[in-house]
Structure 1
């Protein structure tokens, strides 16, 4: 059959040209496109690596900034605590000074009041003494009709009040 005899010649020609086309495509893609794709992939990898390095550097800088911030905050807190304690101590000393001054003033006032009270008590006692002496002289005169000397009546009233 003649159709079957043609198959080997037709297929051989088609297989040849198919191999030639595949070789051209292989070398065109291998030599032309693959290097460009590899260069793009390498550039992307470098960009990613550079971005990661920049991110790590930024993170380290942020950590250093945060550590410096925390150190400043701790120093500020300690300074505030020291100032607060100093202010408390100063206020305590000032309050103690005012209390001592008030105590001294009150002691002076108390001493003056006690002296006034003693003076008033002495005057009252001397008034009571003289009234008691007069009353004793009067009672003795009314009961017995005898006159008692004022000095004797005063001495008797004083001894009675002392007891």
Structure 2
């Protein structure tokens, strides 16, 4: 086979051109493209590191703002509780005053009513005594035929009412 016989003759020149081609390729890629690629990778790493640092700073700032908001919110809640408690205390005090005033009016009316009832009871007792005295005089005169004086009948009625 003639192709195999030529192999020994052309081997050295093909090896030479292979070495030249790989050498040129190595220098073009190694010296031209690799530094650009490495520079791009370094820039990307730097950009990622900067972005991560900015994100961390933003997160820290957001955490600080959230904490400040929570503190303000808690203070506002405490103020609101204070206002509500003060309003409740004020309303309770006003209610107590109103109730006390109403209780005074009711007590006064009750005392007046008790006085009127006592006066009416005394008047009714006096009237009952007068009627009982007249009735006793009339009964004694009809039953026994004796005329009893008004003071004697009144005394007997009072004694009877006192015992019974």
Same fold, judged at TM 0.5 (above): yes
Rounded Cα–Cα distance in structure 2 between residues aligned with 1:140 and 1:5: 182
**Structure 1 partner of 2:142:** 142
Query: Equivalents in 1 of 2:55, 2:142: separation in Å?
Result: 124
Residue of structure 2 in register with 1:95 after alignment: 95
Deviations 1:54-80 (A, max 9, x none): 110111111111111111111111111
In 1: Cα distance, 2:95 partner to 2:46 partner: 72
Aligned residue pairs total: 163
Cα distance, 1:112 vs structure 2:
0.5
- Distance verdict in 2 for CA 1:4–1:148, change over 3 Å: closer
Structure-2 separation of matches of 1:77 and 1:26: 72
Cα deviation for residue 103 of structure 1 reads 1.4
Deviation at 1:41, TM superposition (A): 0.4
Counterpart for residue 13 of structure 1: 13
Does the alignment pair 1:127 with 2:119?
no
Which residue of 2 is the match for residue 77 of structure 1? 77
Q: Which runs of 5+ in 2 are unaligned?
A: none
Runs of 4+ in 1 over 6 A off after TM superposition: 2-5
Q: TM-score by structure 2 length?
A: 0.92
TM-score (norm 1): 0.92
**What are the ranges of 5 or more consecutive residues in structure 1 without an aligned counterpart?**
none
49-58 vs 98-107, greater mean Cα deviation = 98-107
**How far apart are 1:121 and its partner, in Å?**
0.5
1:101-116 equivalence runs, <5 A: 101-116=101-116
CA RMSD, 1 decimal:
1.9
Q: Distance in 1 between matches of 2:98 and 2:3?
A: 132
Pick closer, same or farther for the CA change 1:68–1:18 going to 2, 3 Å.
same
Shift of 1:8: 3.4
Name the structure 2 match of 1:31: 31
> Over residues 117-160 of structure 1, what are the superposed CA-to-partner deviations in whole Å (9 max), with x where a residue is unaligned?
01110111111000000011111111222221112212221221
Deviation at 1:21? 1.2
Rounded to whole Å, the distance in 2 between the matches of 1:3 and 1:120 is 155
